[in-house]
Amino acid sequence: MTVRPPAGFPLPELVLAANRVLIEEADALRAAMQLFGSAPQPRSPWTLDDEAFADGADSTAGGRAALLRYTRHQASLIYVNAWDHLITLARILGGDGAMPLFSQASLARVVCEAAVRFAWLMDPDVSSAKRLIRGAVALHYSAEERSKGVRALPAERFDSAVHRRILESSIQERDSIRKLIDGAGMTFGSSRKGNAKVRLEMQSPKASVPLKINITELMSEWLPDSPSWYNIGSSVTHSVYWGLRDVNHSRPGESLALTPDVLDVGAAVESALSRESVDR
């Protein structure tokens, strides 16, 4: 739902300024995206990873080189997702003379998550081995989540052949990811009780990464100036009352009187812009 001011009343200046700045930042992000990996500098993480995982005689070299390609492919798509939501956020804030009630928070939240996932995946301050394991963890998480969703599909709602193909595709993807992980010389580490896989490990060079990717913790780590935005944005994403009521200027039991909260718009835009800078 969008709201348009009455004839003769312009949108708040904050909304118009946000539209302009977001478009500028989206353009800058797209330019950076086009340069991603196209001209790596000597001794940059990109070239260091190439050197560390080049195809060679070692039995794991080919698997690690393949996994590195998958890691970069994931990062590229995450980058595109951040840009897509950033430019969409710009368009809904005054792009057609209107402003939304809630969706700016959800869009900003996606930008936030994409930015910190990209930063975590391509972190220049960790070793090449740890970056590669993070890529494997992200692939494993993706395959497991898809498999979980497919297994929950009610078979009776699909043609049996179609349902079987969906299941087989999911299993094939999961198996191929596990084969890729095995081929890179990585193993799953178990919990102390030994009843659950909790991390991915590499023995040479020695490194490990937990299988659980905690986005809330990543937000606090990568953007300590505004660590709670992820939680605040989730109130809108999950339709929690406290995150929705600020646009309602009527009391319970009365007809709704909805007015966009300009401060919420400003907070969403500021958060999206700060997180977009993490990507670049």
Kindly give the parts of the chain with pLDDT less than 50: none
**pLDDT computed for residue 279 by the predictor:** 58
CB atoms inside a 10 Å sphere around CB 61: 17
Percent of the chain at pLDDT exceeding 70: 95
Domain spans, the chain? 11-279
pLDDT digits (tens, 9 = 90+) for 131-155: 999 999 999 999 999 999 998 988 8
Cα–Cα dist 136/189, whole Å? 14
Contact present, 92 and 2 (Cβ < 8 Å): yes
Cα–Cα dist 111/275, whole Å? 7
Q: What is the pTM of this model?
A: 0.88
One DSSP character per residue, the chain reads -EE-PPTT-PPPHHHHHHHHHHHHHHHHHHHHHHHTTTSPPTTSHHHHHHHHT-S-SSTTHHHHHHHHHHHHHHHHHHHHHHHHHHHHHHHHTTTTS-EESSHHHHHHHHHHHHHHHHHHHT-TTS-HHHHHHHHHHHHHHHHHHHHHHHHTS-GGGS-HHHHHHHHHHHHHHHHHHHHHHHHTTEEEEEPTTSSSEEEEEEETTEEEEES---HHHHHHHH-TTSTTHHHHHHHHHTT-HHHHGGGB-S-TTSPP-B---HHHHHHHHHHHHHHHHHH-
pLDDT digits (tens, 9 = 90+) for 62-104: 899 999 999 999 999 999 999 999 999 999 998 888 889 999 9
Cα–Cα dist 247/278, whole Å? 30
Find residue 207's DSSP bridge partners: 202
| Selection from 76, 72, 35 nearest residue 50 by Cα | 72
Which residue in the block uniquely carries the two structure tokens 């198996």? 175
